[in-house]
Amino acid sequence: MLKRRRELILSASLFLALCAIALLGARYTVDYLLYRDAVSTGQSWTKYVANNLKDIETIAQGEMPSAESLSIIEQARQVGNVYRYKIFDGDGNLMVFSDHRQLIEYGDGKLGLNDAAAAKAMAMGSPTVAVKEGGFYHPAYYAEAYVPVEINGRRVAVVGTYVDQTEKREHYRTLFFYAALSIGLFTTLAFGIPAFAWYRRTQEKARADEQINFLARHDLQTLLPNRKYFFETLGFALTSLPANRTALALHCVDLDRLKDINNAYGREAGDYVIRKVAERLRFVARSTDMAACFGSDSFAILQTNVTSAGAAEALARRILDEIAGVCHYDGKQISVSGSIGTALAPQHGSDVTRLLKCAELALDRAKNDGRNCARVFTPDMAVKLAERMEVEQAIRDAIATESFELYFQPLVCLRKDRLVGFEALLRLPDGKGGFVPPSVFIPLAEEMGLIDVIGRWTMRRGCKIAALWPENLRLSVNLSPAQFLASRVSSMVEWALKDGGLAPNRLALEVTENMLLSDADAVLKELSRLKELGVRIVMDDFGTGYSSLQYLWRFPFDAIKIDRSFIDGLGGKQQNMEKIVSTIVALGHTLNLKVTAEGVENESQRKFLRKVDCDHVQGFLFGRPMPETELAGAILADFQKTMPKNVVQLPVKELPRQSLRG
């Protein structure tokens, strides 16, 4: 009896010990899974934001996030359990703050907070993640992750993400409670609960990954598939064509004059129009079709199972009818229309690149035909496509073989009839002894995303050449709007000046009004940085835009350049042209700006410009664009105007060519 009692006590003790071990094991396992869930979720969201903010570097330097970045932060903050985002600079200073109570706050280190965890993540170059109990400003249980952001091997910022884990913890604790009860009765179940918790954790992680994947494949404003996702689907559909024995159609859709809507009603109205158009495209597309958003005013529809060209044209007409109409916004009626270019596969192309180019050529035809219409790619456009592809290849070859050339057109002081500098003009050899017109290859290089590489080479090469000129001569270089979108121009110019050994005051940068219209505030800030370097800023093509005067008082330009269309009109049938030119010159002098007239080709134009006291002139009358090898002669000829005839000038050596990539 005593022995059986001992055995019972021993069995009970063993049972309780097993229960205690299982209980502790279950609790440890659940806590560990909860911690890993918090770590992985916080780290995933942080990396998502860090990888998708294209202007993260400038944000870390104190700049206002772009509209796209604000949209990404807001969208990410609304999905999942993320309740706060922070962006720090390299020293751990808080630059941007966004949470559920306050949408966004930013400042050039003015938020007054230095975070040791952010500084540690930057110093280590690896993420730091912590799971903490909450307080007054935080949920009861949350994870905070700090991830350093690297661009081209440089750590530029740290993104911090705060994820609310309270609900999950309560969920896991509930599971733990029932597991404890079950352990008391069935010890073996103690080993099943952690497995179930792991499964739930895996499911939660899968849902979070699914949300992140959705954001990566869709446009945040319209929630339509983005360009990358669309092209992946289009590529798969093209590979399936031989098996399906059907055709498909690619419809490229552009909104007409969205920029005018933004200027007239504000960017918020333009964004509203974009969202409404996206809804209409989603409505007109069949369940087997796919509508996508390519950008602010560009859309596309992939039409599958196309039985004939007429079926594709019919859908294009329905798209036009659906887009066209009025959008009501804030009590205003905004007229909306679109242009469509359509290409068929395999008739017009069997790969994504060619099919897209055909559709874009058809879209260009629609725009040239007056907009608000649809055009299908036709054989006559193939000639233009071949020419375009030939120029594209020439651009790539010129970059690879370093065969771009710089020509220089003289810039002359009208009062003294003396050379004051040269304007650098980029030339692309056509392989036939001539050059591709800049009006053709420069816009194409911008579309190809190569203008930044070409612009860097132009700036660096021009500065190296100008550094060998007499110090009284300056270099003038045109800047493309696409360069401001591709990179920080001020850094590129600063590096080119130092590399070439050219004094900043000898460089003049010419910008057009179109550049300012794209994003005036951002461009004006970048131009201010250039002014701080000491370079001169010139407004090119002055008088051709409707808001040129607006920018003269918003930014301290050094000079204005009268568009050649005004100079061409001097002495012609347009009797008021002389009054307009003289008024522009007087306006420039009143604002203490130098005034340059381009396109001067005859003596009567020069006499008139001298009469109205124009400062500088440029045109065929004073010299055509010349290659680098002829610069020494032109400079020497100008110098000899003030030298005795018996003085001999030594020849100037030609500067060696420089790499586009160096």
Please determine, for residue 8, whether its predicted confidence score (pLDDT) is greater than 50: no
Percent of the chain having pLDDT more than 90? 35
Per-residue model confidence (pLDDT) at position 52: 80
Give mean pLDDT, residues 608-616. 94
The pLDDT tens digits for 303-340 are 998 988 899 999 999 999 998 888 888 888 898 999 99
CATH number listed for the domain at residues 397-629: 3.20.20.450
Per-residue model confidence (pLDDT) at position 523: 79
Instruction: Pick the most confident of 339-343, 484-488, 635-639.
Output: 339-343
- Closest to 596 measured CA to CA, from 514, 538, 513: 538
What is d(CA 474, CA 545) in angstroms, rounded to the nearest whole number? Answer: 27
Please determine, for residue 103, whether its predicted confidence score (pLDDT) is greater than 70: no
Token pair 């010129």 is at which residue? 398
* Average pLDDT of the chain to the nearest whole number: 82
- 597 or 402, which is more confident: 597
- 193 or 290, which is more confident: 290
Report helix, strand or coil for 406: strand
Per-residue model confidence (pLDDT) at position 7: 47
3.30.390.10, 3.30.70.270, 3.40.710.10, 3.40.50.10130: which CATH number matches 227-377? 3.30.70.270
What is d(CA 15, CA 5) in angstroms, rounded to the nearest whole number? Answer: 15
Please determine, for residue 657, whether its predicted confidence score (pLDDT) is greater than 60: no
Q: What count of other Cβ atoms lies within 10 Å of the Cβ of residue 6?
A: 10
Instruction: Report CA dihedral (621, 626, 630, 631) to the nearest 10 degrees.
Output: 80
Could you tell me the two tokens for 508? Answer: 């003049």
Binned at pLDDT 50, 70 and 90, residue 42 comes out as low
Percent of the chain having pLDDT more than 70? 82
The pLDDT tens digits for 386-412 are 888 899 999 999 998 888 999 999 999
What beta strand segments (E) does 89-238 contain?
94-99, 105-106, 128-133, 141-151, 154-164
What is d(CA 533, CA 145) in angstroms, rounded to the nearest whole number? Answer: 38
Per-residue model confidence (pLDDT) at position 183: 61
Buried/exposed 280-302: b ≥16 CB within 10 Å, e otherwise = bbeebbeeebbbbbbebbbbbbb
In the CATH hierarchy, which fold is given to the domain comprising 2-217?
Beta-Lactamase (3.30.450)
Please determine, for residue 567, whether its predicted confidence score (pLDDT) is greater than 70: yes
Binned at pLDDT 50, 70 and 90, residue 135 comes out as confident
Q: What count of other Cβ atoms lies within 10 Å of the Cβ of residue 261?
A: 24
DSSP code for 266: -
What is d(CA 102, CA 174) in angstroms, rounded to the nearest whole number? Answer: 33
DSSP code for 62: T
List CB contacts of 417: < 8 A, sequence separation 6 or more. 641
Per-residue model confidence (pLDDT) at position 34: 64
Distances (CA, A) of 560 to 128, 316, 588, 602: 52, 45, 7, 21
Per-residue model confidence (pLDDT) at position 420: 95
Give mean pLDDT, residues 232-258. 87
- The number of C-alpha atoms within 13 Å of 340 and in the hemisphere containing its C-beta is 26
- 127 or 586, which is more confident: 586
Give mean pLDDT, residues 65-77. 76
Token pair 């109570």 is at which residue? 101
Query: Considering the entire predicted model, what is its pTM?
Result: 0.53
Cβ–Cβ under 8 Å, residues 364 and 343: no
Strand 338-345 versus strand 247-255 pairing type: antiparallel
Per-residue model confidence (pLDDT) at position 571: 73
Binned at pLDDT 50, 70 and 90, residue 573 comes out as low
Could you tell me the two tokens for 162? Answer: 């705060």
Please determine, for residue 661, whether its predicted confidence score (pLDDT) is greater than 60: no
Please determine, for residue 586, whether its predicted confidence score (pLDDT) is greater than 90: yes
Per-residue model confidence (pLDDT) at position 198: 63
Instruction: Pick the most confident of 350-364, 539-553, 633-647.
Output: 350-364
Binned at pLDDT 50, 70 and 90, residue 430 comes out as confident
What is d(CA 421, CA 410) in angstroms, rounded to the nearest whole number? Answer: 6
Lowest-pLDDT choice from 446-455, 502-511, 566-575: 566-575
The pLDDT tens digits for 504-563 are 999 999 988 777 665 667 778 888 899 999 999 998 888 776 555 777 777 778 999 998
Domain regions of the chain by residue span? 2-217, 227-377, 397-629
Instruction: Pick the most confident of 80-84, 170-174, 482-486, 623-627.
Output: 623-627
Give mean pLDDT, residues 76-99. 79
Q: What count of other Cβ atoms lies within 10 Å of the Cβ of residue 13?
A: 10
